[in-house]
Structure 1
């Protein structure tokens, strides 16, 4: 299969999942607003959603793909079965601990709510109801990694749709078919998320069992050095792969001290995650296996070249997305969320947080791409160290900026963390001799910036002509900005016919 066809399949699945995620969050805002119940639900939903996003973007792929790719098919299938069995038992144990200690976890997730006993109790309830999604999506992600290794991307792309689809269906039923209080609505949604995760796991399990070639073989798990290394690598890989999600989790804890701070941060981050999540899914599903093969072949120059070309593509998407989100933050927040229980003041607060988060989008995207090389080379310590540095910077900057600027300052702290994370990943690669920006990368970035500036001027002019756009006019502005950017990118040489030829080349 050509790289472009694989990219389109994974990319379309990722985009479809995030479009459904947008619909889900619009319905969240309409049903729950941004008050105490919404803060409680979104604080509880943050932990399982954190895990879902990390593993959904291929967070465990760096541990599984390089290890399984070195084994013979039968041995790889048996080892894959061992890993799934052991992880399944461990995750069931973890879920039991969470169910027992949900009260303490609620306090850790939202320490700012400690003075509001009723709200904190809701956080604990929603945590108990929603956390069972975690073992389902983790096992589904591991199964998807095995499918990716064998070039089967359909289930990987489509299975995550089950979660958002299930939640949207529940929201429609709750809003139109049932008469419930806000706290009861949130409880239904929390329980529905766990059932939707089970549906996602069923889709992947069906894909693994289909076909003539056995991809996974189950048996009594055998303890082996490889299984031990995979288990030990699990946490570092998740932490390194989900660095930005950890930054947001820390920011959420700080935001819990501000009224509606959790909600504003959640809705803004959901918008920002669309381009970032797309690049993460493409990187882990497509770039990582390619880099792993080149590393196994000992072709260092090819790794650097592939990395630079991937970074060009990532910035080709991330830089205009960052600029557009900053310029269109207020109308986007209003059109997407301002209805039902979500008020105009909430839209304004969400817009300011979105602008601050969008500043860090290019750095977060660059770190996602560059970290794939560290994963492919097995340098998990360097990737984990970079993630820890970014987390420390996020906490320090958020605390320093929160008091003068509130939730907006916390979001700025996340952007500082993304910048520090990207610099740390690049420094780690440089130590291994795998970070060497070539002239082609620098020239391409300058051309992209010219196209982004052209698009930004067009968007500002459009907003002056329509200062308060509705859904249709905002869609037209976005499509017009995309068209301007595409034409400017072609004129400036940021996109060429050679790019398309490289993408369609058989892998």
Structure 2
């Protein structure tokens, strides 16, 4: 399969998964609203969904692929079998622990939901939804092995099973049954676990159809190579999902406010759509050149490639942040305000979204810059940077939440994203891998000016006629995009050479 076709398959699968996930969350809002049951379900769903998002986007690949690609085919197949067996046993043990200790885990996930039996609901939904982690994690590992052999179709589209299954369950529950909201949430938790196992079955079927033995099972051999591979996977996962961990901590704090968990979840889902896509664009520009330059010891080329990738990421992140802030109320009302999701919920979610939008550029920059630490093998640095972000969330979210409620918690998460990015920059500077030059700051100024021009246009249009309906919101989004593209072209924030460079790397 050609590189272009493989890239298109993976890209289409990623985009389709995000669109389905967004549709799923719109249906969540319609079916569950943002009340106590929704808080309990979303608190329980956040942890398995966090794991699914990290491993589903290749969070384990930096640990698995390099180690196995250096081995001969037979040795690689045997090592792959050992990895799958070791992870399967570990995941079964973890699932058993969660099923037994779901009450304690519920207290950890949502300590504020201690009234009216809500913690018992969180524990129930956790028990029902957590088996999804077993399915999606093993599916991600098998997908990495398939990708090493140039098999991309099943791995690109199998992750759609989780969101597609949940959408089907939501439609069936809404149309075919009249259930109390707590029972409806329980069936959704069951559906998420079944969908995760379906994803595993699809990837395993693709593995069996492979012409060559990609995975060879045997009694697991606890070799030093396997031990190092498994130990390196944990810090890679923590660093890959650092921003998601900040939201997990923020949800713990938000559980002390009515509807806080729900508002934070829905606002997070709006922010994650551009964040994931922009991080993928930045990484695709950075990584191919970065790996080669680090091996050659060309530090100056690493810095140059890193600056270029950061420019591309901020070229997209800054206007997205501004647009989300300006259109937050219209977005949440048009996307979520229906069924059990009330007008007051839409307004609360909008204020949370405004707070989160301020952290989008920092979260995007951290995702791009952390790739250099991954490539350098600086796992300790990535863990420390993620830990600083989590501590910042623990400090800022309660401090700002006390006077401002959930919007203050969102602002605390944005500050944590800034602290995380600053910590990564500190490590890069310590390693001699951060040296922004004059062209970088010049480009950043042009991007900022273009963003201001777009923001002025959106504010003026909103004052004349606020977006009405999905068509109106789409018109505002596309109009803002066109205005920003024009301003970026006129100011030189993006040039013909940039397009040529991106196309060449693609």
Q: Provide the TM-score with structure 1 as the length reference.
A: 0.94
Q: Take 1:143 and 1:278, find their aligned partners in 2: how far apart are those partners? A: 23
**Change in CA separation of 1:419 and 1:506 when aligned onto 2, cut-off 3 Å:** closer
Q: Take 2:80 and 2:483, find their aligned partners in 1: how far apart are those partners? A: 47
Query: Does the 8 Å contact 1:62/1:284 carry over to 2?
Result: no
Q: Take 1:462 and 1:93, find their aligned partners in 2: how far apart are those partners? A: 56
Deviation of 1:326 after TM superposition, in Å, equals: 0.3
**1:364 to 2:372 alignment:** no
Deviation of 1:453 after TM superposition, in Å, equals: 1.5
Query: Does the 8 Å contact 2:337/2:346 carry over to 1?
Result: yes
- Partner of 1:106 in structure 2? 106
Deviation of 1:283 after TM superposition, in Å, equals: 6.0
Deviation of 1:290 after TM superposition, in Å, equals: 5.6
Q: Take 1:154 and 1:410, find their aligned partners in 2: how far apart are those partners? A: 40
Q: Take 2:269 and 2:29, find their aligned partners in 1: how far apart are those partners? A: 12
- Partner of 1:39 in structure 2? 39
Query: Does the 8 Å contact 2:285/2:502 carry over to 1?
Result: no
- Partner of 2:406 in structure 1? 407
- Partner of 1:217 in structure 2? 216
**1:311 to 2:304 alignment:** no
How many residues align? The count is 506
- Partner of 1:121 in structure 2? 120
**Change in CA separation of 1:3 and 1:368 when aligned onto 2, cut-off 3 Å:** farther
Deviation of 1:266 after TM superposition, in Å, equals: 0.3
Q: Take 2:246 and 2:6, find their aligned partners in 1: how far apart are those partners? A: 30
- Partner of 2:138 in structure 1? 139
Q: Take 1:286 and 1:153, find their aligned partners in 2: how far apart are those partners? A: 20
Q: Take 2:499 and 2:10, find their aligned partners in 1: how far apart are those partners? A: 17
Deviation of 1:415 after TM superposition, in Å, equals: 0.4
Deviation of 1:202 after TM superposition, in Å, equals: 2.4
What are the equivalent positions in structure 2 for 1:204-353 lying under 5 Å apart?
A: 204-281=203-280, 288=287, 291-353=290-352
Deviations 1:253-295 (A, max 9, x none): 1100000000000000000000112234456788556644543
- Partner of 2:92 in structure 1? 92
Deviation of 1:492 after TM superposition, in Å, equals: 2.1
Q: Take 2:446 and 2:206, find their aligned partners in 1: how far apart are those partners? A: 43
Query: Does the 8 Å contact 1:4/1:504 carry over to 2?
Result: no
- Greater mean alpha carbon deviation, residues 204-213 or residues 362-371: 204-213
Q: Take 2:283 and 2:221, find their aligned partners in 1: how far apart are those partners? A: 28
**1:55 to 2:59 alignment:** no
Deviations 1:391-435 (A, max 9, x none): 101110111101110001101110010000001011111222222
**Change in CA separation of 1:286 and 1:183 when aligned onto 2, cut-off 3 Å:** farther
**1:202 to 2:233 alignment:** no
- Partner of 1:503 in structure 2? 502
The structure with higher relative contact order (CA 8 Å, sep 6+) is 1
Deviation of 1:300 after TM superposition, in Å, equals: 3.2
Deviation of 1:77 after TM superposition, in Å, equals: 2.9
- Partner of 1:67 in structure 2? 67
Deviation of 1:76 after TM superposition, in Å, equals: 2.7
**Change in CA separation of 1:357 and 1:130 when aligned onto 2, cut-off 3 Å:** same
Q: RMSD over aligned Cα, in angstroms?
A: 2.1
- Partner of 1:494 in structure 2? 493
- Partner of 1:83 in structure 2? 83
Query: Does the 8 Å contact 1:2/1:504 carry over to 2?
Result: no
Query: Does the 8 Å contact 2:132/2:197 carry over to 1?
Result: yes
- Partner of 1:161 in structure 2? 160
Q: Take 1:199 and 1:282, find their aligned partners in 2: how far apart are those partners? A: 29
Deviations 1:277-331 (A, max 9, x none): 2234456788556644543444433332332222122112211111110000000
**Change in CA separation of 1:452 and 1:210 when aligned onto 2, cut-off 3 Å:** farther
**Change in CA separation of 1:66 and 1:163 when aligned onto 2, cut-off 3 Å:** same
Query: Does the 8 Å contact 2:246/2:416 carry over to 1?
Result: yes
**1:419 to 2:402 alignment:** no
Deviations 1:451-507 (A, max 9, x none): 211211121122112225221111111111112122222222222232332233368
Structure 2 unaligned blocks of 5 or more:
none
Query: Does the 8 Å contact 2:282/2:313 carry over to 1?
Result: no
- Partner of 1:29 in structure 2? 29
Query: Does the 8 Å contact 1:3/1:504 carry over to 2?
Result: no
Deviation of 1:15 after TM superposition, in Å, equals: 2.2
- Partner of 1:449 in structure 2? 448
Deviations 1:368-391 (A, max 9, x none): 011111111211100000000011
3-state DSSP of counterpart to 2:466: coil
Deviation of 1:41 after TM superposition, in Å, equals: 0.4
Q: Take 2:495 and 2:194, find their aligned partners in 1: how far apart are those partners? A: 45
**Change in CA separation of 1:285 and 1:226 when aligned onto 2, cut-off 3 Å:** farther
